Structure 1
C-alpha cells in the first residue's frame, strides 16, 4: 500500500512510502483509504514540532470505504476514531471516557504512537469505526470535537441560552456555528477575514459575521489566538477549542478573576472526542446542506501532490488530501 509517512525525529521528512498491506484482526475492518483532512496538528508534525521518535503514518481526519469486516457491509463509508484508552487504565479511561484521559498515556491514530489513516489501505477495530453517508464524512473528526464542546456547554449552561458567539471561521468555528444554527440559536461568528470564502460561508449558514468582536456571554473560542482568548476570558461561559500560538499578550488576571467570580463564570477547554461524539457528528453532517459542507473544503489535493496539501494558502478553509 501507499502511505504518507514522517520521521518524527526529522523535520520536513514527509514522504509517500510503500508499506506492506495491513492484515485485519478478527474484530477489525479492512478499509480502502479515500481521503484525509489536513489540520494544524498535521502541519506541526510535518515541521517536527510535535511527536517523539519513530516513523509514523500521518492522518487522523479519515474517510474510507469498507472492504471487509464485522458490523459493516462492503462499500460502506466510514471514519475512524482517533484516540484509544490508556492501558492502566485511569479512572476516565476505565469508564470508557478515553477522550478525558487523566494520565496522558492514551494513544492516537496519526498523532501519538499509532499509525494514522493516511494510507490507501488501513484497518480499524469495528468498535472504533463510525458510518458516514458521503465524501463530506472526512469532516467527522473535527465535527466530533465540536459536538463534544456543545455537550459540555449543555451541562454547564444551567439556565440555557438563546445566542452564542463563535470566534474563528476555520473548520472548527464553522462546524460549531453549524451546530448552533441547527439548534435554532442566534449564532454570531467573529473572524478577521474581509474577503475569501469565510464571510459567505457564515452568512449562507444563516449566522451573522463580524470583523470586530461582539459582546456575548456564551463563547466557543476557535482561533487559538491569545489576543482573542484574552478578550473573552471574562465572559460567563467560555469553551476553548483552539491550540494557542506562541504570541504573548498582557492579561489582567485580576480583572479576569473578578469577572469570573462575580458572574459565576466558567472557562473550560476541550480536545479530541469519544465514539458517541463521532456518531453524533455524523448525524450533524447528515442534517447539514451537503453543498455547504462541500464549500468548506476549499482545496482537494491528489495524493501525488501531497506536499501541497500541507501548505497554508490564502483562502484555505479546509484542505483534503485524496488518497
Structure 2
C-alpha cells in the first residue's frame, strides 16, 4: 500500500490547510472496517473550518483531518458486516459518551448535551485520507450504481432527516400537502427538491442565480425555478424547506407558508447581521394559521439509510450533474477554494 495522504488543518488557525504526504495509518481502535478512500465532498462547513472559524482536533493532537462527506471501498471487514469491494460511507456524528437520552437510543442527531463528536469536524479525524476505518454500526453500504456520486450521501442524509421530521409534524392532523418551496439551490436545496419530487409533490425552488446549471437542474426534476423574492411568489406552499440561512429569506419563508404549513430551517446564518421585521405579524401568522417552524441539522442512521435508498432510485445522470468539479488530491488547495458556479466540489483520491 502507498503512504497515507491526508488533508489537515489546525483548528482555529486560519489558512492552515495542508496535505500531509505520510500521515499515520488509521489505528484499529477507529473501527474494524478498513476503507480505501475514493472521494470526499466539500461543503460550507469545510470552508468555515479552513477559515479558522470552527473545528476541534481529536484529543492529543493539534491537527484535524478534514472530510465528512465520504465515499470509500472496503478493503477488509473481519466482522462480516460488509464485503471486500463494497462501496461504503461513514456516518459523521457519533453519540456522546454520557450518553444523553437521545444518544442512548441512536438519535444522536438530537443530542441534548452537545458532547457528540463528528468526523472531520469535531474531535474525530475525517475521511480526507487515503485509508480510514469505521465501526460497523456507523458504516453505510451503498448500491454499486452510486460509485460516481456516493459522496452525496451525507448531504442527502441531512434532507432525509428534514423530510422525516416534516412528515412527523404533518401527522398532527389530516395532512395532504401538495406544494413545496425550497429556498436555495445549493447541494442541500437541490437534494431537498429531489426528495420532494420523489414524493410526488409540486416543487418550486427559489434561488438568485439566473444562469449556470441551477435552473436546468431544477427543470430536470420537473420543478419550477424562481429568482424573485419570496414575498413575490403567487402561491402559499404547504411546506417550505429553507436552505440559505439568509436572515431576510428565513423571515420571508416563515411568513409565506400556507395554513397548517410547515417550515423547516436547514440553512445556518452566519450571525452579525440584523434585519427589521414585524415580530407581531409573524406571531399572528404562526398562531392563527397553525403553522410550525423548526430547525433541522445532521442525521442518524435511519436517515442515512433513507438517503441511500433515495439516491439509488434517483436519475444518476442528474446526480452526477451536481458535481461541478473533481479535483485530484495533489491540487487540494483548488478544491477548497470556492468557485462562483460551484454546486458540489469533490476531492478525488483516485485521480
TM normalised by structure 1 equals 0.97
Output the CA distance in 2 between the equivalents of 1:299 and 1:171: 13
Query: Could you tell me which of 269, 273, 276 is aligned with 1:250?
Result: 276
Output the CA distance in 2 between the equivalents of 1:51 and 1:252: 35
For residues 46-88 of structure 1, give each alpha carbon's deviation from its aligned partner in whole angstroms, at most 9, with x where no partner exists: 0000024631000100000000013111111101000000111
Matched-pair contact (CA < 8 Å) for 2:34–2:75: yes
Output the CA distance in 2 between the equivalents of 1:91 and 1:26: 24
CA gap of 1:255–1:282, structure 2 versus 1, over 3 A, is: same
Output the CA distance in 2 between the equivalents of 1:218 and 1:120: 41
Matched-pair contact (CA < 8 Å) for 1:226–1:245: no
Residue of structure 1 equivalent to 2:332: 306
State the number of aligned residues: 323
Matched-pair contact (CA < 8 Å) for 1:237–1:267: yes
Query: Could you tell me which of 51, 75, 93 is aligned with 1:67?
Result: 75
Residue of structure 2 equivalent to 1:268: 294
Q: CA deviation at 1:10?
A: 1.3
Residue of structure 1 equivalent to 2:150: 137
Output the CA distance in 1 between the equivalents of 2:139 and 2:314: 21
Matched-pair contact (CA < 8 Å) for 2:30–2:133: no
Residue of structure 2 equivalent to 1:50: 54
For residues 278-302 of structure 1, give each alpha carbon's deviation from its aligned partner in whole angstroms, at most 9, with x where no partner exists: 1111111100111100000011111
Equivalent position SS for 1:244: coil
Unaligned runs of 5+ in 2: none
Output the CA distance in 2 between the equivalents of 1:261 and 1:26: 48
Equivalent position SS for 1:13: coil
Matched-pair contact (CA < 8 Å) for 1:35–1:62: yes
Output the CA distance in 1 between the equivalents of 2:262 and 2:296: 13
Output the CA distance in 2 between the equivalents of 1:302 and 1:169: 26
Between 251-260 and 21-30, the greater mean CA deviation after superposition: 21-30
Output the CA distance in 2 between the equivalents of 1:135 and 1:78: 12
Matched-pair contact (CA < 8 Å) for 1:154–1:160: no
Answer yes or no: is 1:284 the counterpart of 2:300: no
Output the CA distance in 1 between the equivalents of 2:56 and 2:345: 25
Residue of structure 1 equivalent to 2:201: 185
Q: CA deviation at 1:25?
A: 4.7
Matched-pair contact (CA < 8 Å) for 2:89–2:140: yes
Equivalent position SS for 2:7: strand
Equivalent position SS for 1:248: coil
Residue of structure 2 equivalent to 1:166: 182
Query: Could you tell me which of 35, 41, 45 is aligned with 2:39?
Result: 35
For residues 23-60 of structure 1, give each alpha carbon's deviation from its aligned partner in whole angstroms, at most 9, with x where no partner exists: 33596200001110000000000000002463100010
**Over aligned residue pairs, what C-alpha RMSD do you find?**
1.3
Matched-pair contact (CA < 8 Å) for 1:63–1:77: yes
CA gap of 1:156–1:272, structure 2 versus 1, over 3 A, is: same
Matched-pair contact (CA < 8 Å) for 1:299–1:320: yes
TM normalised by structure 2 equals 0.90
Equivalent position SS for 1:2: strand
Output the CA distance in 1 between the equivalents of 2:44 and 2:12: 19
Equivalent position SS for 1:233: helix
Residue of structure 2 equivalent to 1:99: 109
Query: Could you tell me which of 22, 26, 37 is aligned with 1:22?
Result: 26
Q: CA deviation at 1:253?
A: 1.2
